Structure 1
Amino acid sequence: MSGLSFSEMEGCRNLLGLLDNDEIMALCDTVTNRLVQPEDRQDAVRAILVYSQSAEELLRRRKVHREVIFKYLATQGIIIPPATEKHNLIQHAKDYWQKQSQLKLKETPEPVTKTENIQLFQQQVKEDKKAEKVDFRRLGEEFCHWFFGLLNSQNPFLGPPQHEWGPQHFWHDVKLRFYYNTSEQNVTDYYGAEIVSLRLLSLVKEEFLFLSPNLDSHGLKCASSPHGLVMVGVAGTVHRGNTCLGIFEQIFGLIRCPFVENTWKIKFINLKIRGESSLAPGTLPKPAVKFEQSDLEAFYNVITLCGTSEVRHNVKQFLDSGTGDQV
């Protein structure tokens, strides 16, 4: 085991960086008595540091020349007369590393025991939670940029798509609930990644729609469940060519894929499109999500239940309350 302190270890590592490869390999042979066969320079440096009994022993090696120690001290801002003997240079290096160790000890924070430190710690926790919320909203924004950019790019009016749309972006048991209200209201459910991806694709590829999300504070809301389901609610306008046809509101349920890093797949979608004819004459409100984060969380609690008549009653009650019906 190395007899070097942390500061000595770092200092010697930097000093060894001034030697060329042949000198490093030769020094490694000397320090380890040729018992270690390093694969590369990095392995050799590691072996030299580990098998050296002390910093002084290492620096006294004949292969660590006086000029190298002098040059190292100069890089650290320590000005020594050029004629200084090697043993004095070694002492200067040791003194410097000892001071570095003392400085690091002073910089080490004290245990959180004082009242003011506890308050600072609690404040930091609150700030960390705020940061999580900011990152959480950012996830929603990035997802919407990606999703609507990819979907809209399949519109033939925009030229050939740059990226592939398909079921790979959905969980295999994904559900799409599609509300559309033009002259009358209709609700249709679609199940499975293939069917859901094709139905969404048909909106832009066959019906030539363009969905423009409103990603300001009114148009985008996000929430998460304790189990890792992220819900993104977004509102926007629906276009065909140069004509604005109406507005849409949408909830996505996203679950992180455990097998691919930083990848989320869509678990469910609730999409509601309201045509201009279903709105008050001459009015087209700014697209805004009408539910709050608590509504999204309540929506999660409803959709995670399944099967019983009680659950179906709860779902209907939830939709009739106006929250679920928004999307």
Structure 2
Amino acid sequence: MSGLSEKERLGLKKILGFMTTGDLISLSNTVTNKMIVVENVAEAVETILSFSKNAEELLRRKKVQRDLIFKYLAKEGVTMSPNSEKHQLIKRTLELWSSAKANDNVPQQPTASNSRDIKEGFDPLVLGQQFCQWFFQLLNSQNPSLGQQPQEWGPQHFWPDVRLQLAARAAIEQTDELLGAEMVSLRLLALTSAERLFFCPNLEPHGLKALASPHGLVLVGVAGTIHRDSACLGIFEQIFGLIRSPLDKNSWKIKFINLKIKGQDPLAGMEGTAPALSYTSSELQRLCSS
């Protein structure tokens, strides 16, 4: 029998679930040296898990492709650079499974109980990271190609007079401005549910900035890449204006969003580093005071 923990077994089952029947049976033959003949997917999965020495050995198998591990981590809410190599994805996956808090990995919407007040000692960057993890996991969960249970998306996450400015530049430039929680919520939902886009934010220091005004507005700017299935379509920059709602458990709600999407030349390929946020702190400060 294999030495897999329960968390490793559950995680590996999810990754194996992304594979084709042919690849699963081929992998089962490799792992068992063709000593065991399997007749269906369920038998193949159990056989692979039983005959694998450990999780790392199985993840390193050629049939367990890099994209499958990337997709698994995305579904678990773990943000990785789209340029990550397979060994980096394996390392992060093993860390996730070995962590005692693996089941608590899904970030909750920042509220009064889990984010600090705007006062001395408040760090807007901590809120920005926490908010972006929550927001993009929530938005990405609406993408049917990820095959996960959609989380509760809707106008309740926005102020009633929220404003969305959307600028998309590919073959042609397109700009939209929408007002109101219902309209903004539906337009953003369409990006993932209808257009099947997947947003991968860069939460490293060069991809994320945040600052707070004395009047309670917190500005969060983030850059990242946009994907559809295994293809990287381009990059995005998104600025959020957040204000607490005292009537709704003092949780943070979105007051405005500026979203810029830039398609990439398919022949150019991705740069070696994750996208950086082009807005300077002074530009964010001007937005904060406008």
TM-score range, shorter chain: 0.5 to 0.7
- AA aligned to 1:206 is A
Q: Please, which of 242, 252, 257 is the counterpart of residue 240 of structure 2?
A: 252
CA displacement 1:164-189 (0-9 Å, x = unmatched): 10000000110100000001222110
- AA aligned to 1:146 is W
Specify the alignment match of 1:142 in structure 2: 130
Structure number with the bigger relative contact order (C-alpha 8 A, sep ≥ 6) is: 2
Specify the alignment match of 1:270 in structure 2: 258
Specify the alignment match of 1:213 in structure 2: 201
What's the offset of the Cα at 1:194? 0.4
Distance across 2 between alignment mates of 1:251 and 1:283? 23
Which structure 2 residue ranges, 5 or more long, are not aligned?
1-118
- AA aligned to 1:298 is R
Q: Please, which of 179, 182, 200 is the counterpart of residue 191 of structure 1?
A: 179
SS in structure 2 of the partner of residue 227 of structure 1: coil
Distance across 1 between alignment mates of 2:283 and 2:175? 21
CA displacement 1:138-180 (0-9 Å, x = unmatched): 1000000000000000000122434210000000110100000
TM-score (norm 1): 0.50
Max Rg structure: 1
CA displacement 1:221-268 (0-9 Å, x = unmatched): 001111100000000000000000000000000000112334100000
What's the offset of the Cα at 1:298? 0.6
Distance across 2 between alignment mates of 1:218 and 1:201? 27
Change (3 A) 1:282 1:162: closer
- AA aligned to 1:191 is L
TM-score (norm 2): 0.56
SS in structure 2 of the partner of residue 218 of structure 1: helix
1:1-327 equivalences under 5 Å are 131-132=121-122, 135-277=123-265, 281-282=268-269, 284=271, 286-302=274-290
Distance across 2 between alignment mates of 1:194 and 1:261? 21
Distance across 1 between alignment mates of 2:173 and 2:270? 19
- Larger proportion of helix: 1
Which structure 1 residue ranges, 5 or more long, are not aligned?
1-127, 303-327
- AA aligned to 2:253 is K
Q: Percent identical across equivalent pairs?
A: 54
Greater mean deviation of Cα atoms: 173-182 or 158-167:
158-167
Aligned residues: 171
CA displacement 1:177-218 (0-9 Å, x = unmatched): 000000122211011100100000000001000000000000
What's the offset of the Cα at 1:281? 3.7
What's the offset of the Cα at 1:293? 2.2
The Cα RMSD (Å) is: 1.9
What's the offset of the Cα at 1:282? 4.4
Change (3 A) 1:172 1:275: same
Distance across 1 between alignment mates of 2:229 and 2:270? 20
CA displacement 1:259-301 (0-9 Å, x = unmatched): 2334100000000000013x99445463111122221111223
What's the offset of the Cα at 1:137? 0.9
